[in-house]
A = this chain, B = another copy of it.
Amino acid sequence: MNPRVNEISGSLIREMHARKRPSSMDLGLGEPSLLPNPQHFERAMRDVRERGVKYTPNAGDPELRHAIARHYRYPVMERVESVCVTVGSQEAMYVALKTLLDPARDELLVVEPAFPSYAKMAALEGVAVRSVAMHANDGFAFDGERIVAAVGARTRAVVLCSPCNPTARVITRDAAEVLTRALQRRGGEPVWLIHDEIYREQTFVDDAAQLAQLYPHTIVTNSLSKSNALTGLRLGWILGPAALIAEATKVHAWVTSCADTFAQRVALEIFQSGALREHAEWYRARRRELLAALDESGLHYVGPDGSFYVCVKLADGMNSVAAAHELIDRYDVIAIPGVAFGPALEGWLRLSWVAAPEVVRAGIGRIAQYCLPVSPPC
């Protein structure tokens, strides 16, 4: 057996979910609780009857690739050849890392707190990983200088998620300019930026930067999972310069051949009907309710710029894994220990707020009950 597979540790996030009871208040969930718009499926169903469900080219249906490229209009990524359609943003990220990084010599820099899959995918490929942590003092704001300072001689790619899972911060234009200008000044082999934009349609502030607007060596990964409540459809994409996409498509072809044609037709309908932001108002309303509940609770939290998470601070000295287990045991609330996203988020919990509003409000109340009476406000 492949020892790298054996060595991959289990997921702390899944460990918490596995403890969920039917009665649990689930603030762990990374999946919208609202239903997708079934109209997007009608044309795909018509196509099943009329044309069947045949393979598309490896990189995806050219009409869909065109629609994606034209929707984002990122510089150097505006053509059909700038897009590879993938099996969700999970495969998009896997293919991007596998294409860019030579396990024999390259290193990936992960901007933490971060979703653990970047580092685990790299480990599966035998690629070295280093990390750079954003600071609790700054509310985990993306700090361009700190990121650049962590780029080493072997670093060939930097991955960050903005709007961020777990911190809910976005990278601002200022921070993005500091980062991209410094990378451009470096000379030599380019350092690639991989921008995981999966929460792009859940952005609640004006100052969010798209790295692809600023830096030509950027790869963008995204999917319909969060924007349109289609997590299970597994439809994502990579945007990048055409030469990079041609190489990425080779990897994609050998790993999965092509994305589901039915799902690609659903995606085409969504892009052509301009429905990517159809749930945006729902999220804005939920966020307002969330902020009211948090302020009422007395919990200390990082103001969410985007995504559908919020990080709340535990009482000083509390271990996040122990706290998360205790919250399940005593309060029947699921929350994710901060340390699952790197040591910088130890002492915090990540909450998602896509459950029913009354569940979110009650869950936050219970967390405050757990945190607040035993020590100074946490």
Binding site for B on A (CB under 8 A): 1-3, 5-6, 8, 31, 34-36, 38, 41, 45, 48-49, 51-56, 87-88, 90-91, 94, 98-103, 117, 120-121, 124, 126, 229-234, 247, 250-251, 254-263
Task: Find chain B residues with CB under 8 A from A31 CB.
Answer: 54-55
CB contact between A1 and one of B34, B102, B126, B254 (< 8 Å): that residue: B102
User: Is B54 touching A48 in the complex (CB atoms < 8 A)?
Assistant: no
Select which of B51, B55, B233 is within 8 A of A262 by beta carbon: B233
- Chain B residues closer than 8 Å to A258, beta-carbon distance: 232, 234
A94 proximity list for chain B (CB < 8 A): 254-256
Q: How many copies of this chain does the complex contain? A: 2
Of B8, B48, B234, which contacts A259 at CB under 8 A?
A: B234
B251 A5 Cβ-Cβ under 8 A: yes
A87 and B254 contacting across the interface, CB-CB below 8 Å: no
- A88/B54 in contact, CB under 8 A: no
| Chain B residues with CB below 8 A from A257, complex form | 87-88, 90-91, 234
**Which 5 A-B residue pairings sit nearest by Cβ, starting from the closest?**
A232-B261, A53-B232, A90-B257, A35-B52, A87-B256
Interface pairs (13), CB distance under 8 Å: A5-B98, A6-B247, A45-B45, A55-B232, A87-B91, A87-B256, A88-B256, A94-B254, A232-B261, A234-B256, A234-B258, A255-B255, A255-B256
B3 touches A121 (CB 8 A): no
Distance to closest chain B CB from A369 (angstroms): 30
A262–B232 touching, CB < 8 Å: yes
Q: How far is the CA of A193 from the CA of B175 in the complex (A)?
A: 53
Let me know if B41 and A48 touch, CB within 8 A.
yes
Closest approach, in angstroms, between the C-beta of A359 and any C-beta of chain B? 16
The reply to whether A2 and B100 contact each other, CB–CB distance below 8 Å, is yes
Q: Are B120 and A56 in contact (CB under 8 A)?
A: no
CB distance from A69 to the nearest CB of B (A): 22
Contacts of A100 in B (CB 8 A): 1-2
Most B CB within 10 A of own CB, among A94, A230, A262? A262
| Minimum Cβ distance to chain B for residue A236 (Å) | 10
- Assuming the contacts A49-B38, A100-B1, asked whether A260 and B247 have C-beta atoms less than 8 A apart, the reply is no
A258 to B234, CA, bound (A): 8
Q: A98-B5, A254-B8 are in contact. Are A53 and B124 (CB under 8 A)?
A: no
New A-B contacts (19) at CB < 8 Å, excluding given A36-B53, A87-B260, A124-B254:
A1-B99, A1-B100, A1-B247, A2-B103, A5-B250, A8-B250, A35-B49, A35-B52, A54-B231, A55-B231, A87-B234, A87-B257, A90-B255, A90-B256, A94-B254, A94-B256, A233-B261, A234-B261, A255-B256
CA distance A368 to B6 in the complex (A): 54
Closest B residue, CB atoms, query A244: B1
Pick the contact of A263 from B56, B101, B262 — CB < 8 Å?
A: B262
Closest to A117 in B: B254
Task: Give A126's nearest chain B residue, CB to CB.
Answer: B103
